[in-house]
Chain A
Amino acid sequence: MWNLLQIEVFKIFKRPRTYISFVAITIIIVLIQLAFFSDGNAYMDFALSALKDRFDINGKLLNGYFICYLVLQMLLIHVPLLIALVSGDVLSGEANMGTLRMLMTKPISRSQIVMSKFIASFIYTILLLTWMAFLSLVVSMMIFGTDDLLIFNSDKAILLREADVFWRFVAAFIYGAIGMTTVTALAILLSVFADNSIGPIVGTMSVIILFTIMTGLDLPFFDFLKPIMFTRHMLAWKGFFNEPVNFTSVIKSGCILVGHIVVFLGAAILVFRKKDILS
C-alpha cells in the first residue's frame, strides 16, 4: 500500500494540471494582498464608518489576520472547485488514458487502488491548503503585521484579541481540510462511474455550486435536503471566530463531514470492486 501510495503521489505531482490550483491560489491571494496594500486604508475607513460614529477605534485593524480572514471567506468556497480538478481525474483520467487496465493487470486489489488514490488526493489537498495558509496567513502577517482581529457579521462585529487569534486560523485550516477531503471523496466516487474526467470534475463542481446556492437561500423548501447538503457544514470553520466558540456545534459539523467522507469512499470502493473495466 505504501508503495502504491508513493506512486500515486508521484503521478499526481508529475501532471501539469496539478499546479493549476497552486498557481490560481497564488494569483488570487497576491492580488488581494496587493489591492489591500495599495487601497486597504480607504477600504477600512469605509467598512468602519458606521462603527466610528459610536466607538473609538484605535490600533491597526488592517493587519495580516484580517487579510487572512477575508481570503478564507472568499476562497474556502472556491477551493473545492480546484480540488475537483485533480480528485475527479484520478480514476476516470486513468480510464480515459487506458492506463487503468494496465494498472489492473498488476497484483494490487481494487480497494487498494481506490484507497491509494484517495490518500494521494488527500495529500494534494493538504498541500494546497498549506500553501494557501502560508500565503494568506504567514505572508500577510509579514506584509501587514498583526493586531486584534475585527470581524463583521451580518448583525454584529466581533473583536478578537491578537493573542487569541492565531490558533483560530490553525483550527479553521484544519477544519477546512476536512471539508476539502469531503469534496475529494465525492470527486473520487463520481470518478468511479466515468471513463473520462470531464464528468466527475463538472459533476463535483455542480454539486458544490448547487448545494452552496441552496444553503445560501435557506428556504424551508430545501429543508428535506439539509441532511445531505454537506456544503452547509463546510462553512462551520467560521465558528472558530465566534466568541465564545461553540465547540459542540463545530465538532458536530466536522463529524457530519467525516461521515460523508466514509460514505462516499465506501461507496466508491464497493462500486469499483464490482466494476467491469472496459476502457
Chain B
Amino acid sequence: METIIQVKGLVKHFKDVKAVDGLSFSVNKGEIYGFLGQNGAGKSTTIRMLLSLVEPTNGSIQIFGKELKGNRSAILKSTGAVIEKPDLYKYLTAFENLSIFARLSGKRLNTSEIKSRLERVGLADRAHSKVKTFSQGMKQRLGIAVALVHDPDLIILDEPANGLDPQGIAEIRNLILHLGRDLKKTVLVSSHLLSEVEQIADRLLIINKGKKMVEGTIAELLDPSKMQLELNTGNNAYALSLMQAFDGVRNISNRENSLLIELHQQQIPHLIRHLVNHNVEILSVFSRHSLENYFLSLTSSDHVEPIAN
C-alpha cells in the first residue's frame, strides 16, 4: 500500500519544553487516520510540522514520497488543511474568502464553481454574507470548503469538531467519511475525543506528552475481550457475589455506588440475563472499551508508558 505520510523520529523543542518527542508514524493512501491525544499532547504541533508552519528540531517528514523540506510548495499543492479553528477573513464574504484561497492554491474558479463549492457545504445562500456574521459551525464548514477548494489528495483536519453542536459534529463526521470512503482521499484527522474518531478512522494513533502511545487499526485497538462494564444495581453486594461466580468476569472492583468489571463483549447480554434471572434490579449499565479506559488514563495520569499492540 502506498504511504502518503511518513514521519520518522520527529522532535520539536520550544525552549525547554519538548512538545513532540521522537514521534514516528505513517499514513497510507486512501485511509482515514485518527490522531488522538489530550489537549497539549503535541497533536497541533505535529500537524503544524506536517504543513511546515513549524520547523522540526529533529526528524524527517515525507509526504507523497518527497521530503517536506525542499518540496514544500509541491506538497502543499496537493494538500488541504484546517488547523484548529478555521479562521478566515471576517471582513470578506464567504464567496470572496473561497475565491481568494482558491487562487492562492493555484486554482481560478468562476462564479458558478465557487457557488457549487459553497452549496456542497450548505452555504450557498450565505455566499455574499461577511464571515463575521457566521456561526462557529458555518465557519467550520467554510474552512473545510477552503481546504478542499483545490481538490487535494491529502486532507489534514485538526480538531474539526471543536466548538460545534451535535448536529455540526455529525455533519463533519459524514463529510470526512464521504472524503475517505467515496472520494478515496487520504484524511488525517486529529481530536482529543476518542468518540469522535473511532467511528470514522481506519487506523488510530494516540500520543501523550509528544510521544507515541499506541497505533493500530480500530479492530486491533478495540479488543472486544477487554470491555469494561459499570453496573449500578438495587443490591450491589448480591450482584457482586453473583458476578464473582460468573465465568469470564475479571477485575471486579467497587466504585462509589457502582461495580466495575471486565469481560468479553459477547458475554455482556449473558451476564445481564443472569443477574435479572436472580432478581437483581439493574438501575444502569455503562460499557466502555479498554482503549477508552486507556485513553482516559492518558488524560488523567502523568506517567503513562507506551503500550504494545
Contacts and interface: CB of A to CB of B under 8 A. Distances in A.
B186 to A, nearest CB: 16
Interface string A154-166: 0000000000000
Interface in A179-207: none
Given A274-B55, A277-B53, A103 B104 contact: yes
For B74, B77, B84, B91, the residue with the greatest tally of chain A CB atoms inside 10 Å of its CB is: B91
A11 B91 CA distance: 9
For A3, A103, A106, A108, the residue with the greatest tally of chain B CB atoms inside 10 Å of its CB is: A106
Contact of B79 (A97, A101, A105, A274): A105
A54 interface: no
B90 A97 contact: yes
Contacts of A105: 51, 53, 76, 79-81, 83, 147
Given A276-B55, A277-B48, A107 B106 contact: yes
B160 interface: no
B88 A104 contact: no
B85 A277 contact: no
Nearest to B78: A107
B92 A14 contact: yes
A101 B53 contact: yes
Interface in B45-80: 48, 51-55, 72-74, 76-77, 79-80
Interface residues of B, number: 36
Given A7-B100, A106-B104, A16 B53 contact: no
Contact of A98 (B54, B85, B104, B147): B85
Nearest to B96: A14
Given A15-B91, A274-B55, A276-B53, A107 B76 contact: yes
* Chain A at the B interface: SS class: helix
B53 A107 contact: no
A246 interface: no
Given A7-B100, A277-B54, A107 B85 contact: no
Interface residues of A, number: 24
Contacts of B72: 107, 109
Interface in A93-125: 97-99, 101-109
B14 to A, nearest CB: 8
B87 interface: yes
Given A15-B91, A99-B87, A277-B48, A104 B53 contact: yes
Interface of A: 3-4, 7, 10-11, 14-16, 97-99, 101-109, 274, 276-278
15 contacts: A4-B104, A11-B89, A11-B92, A14-B89, A14-B92, A97-B89, A98-B84, A98-B87, A104-B52, A105-B79, A105-B80, A105-B81, A106-B105, A276-B53, A278-B48
Given A99-B87, A101-B83, 5 more contacts: A4-B104, A98-B84, A106-B105, A107-B73, A277-B48
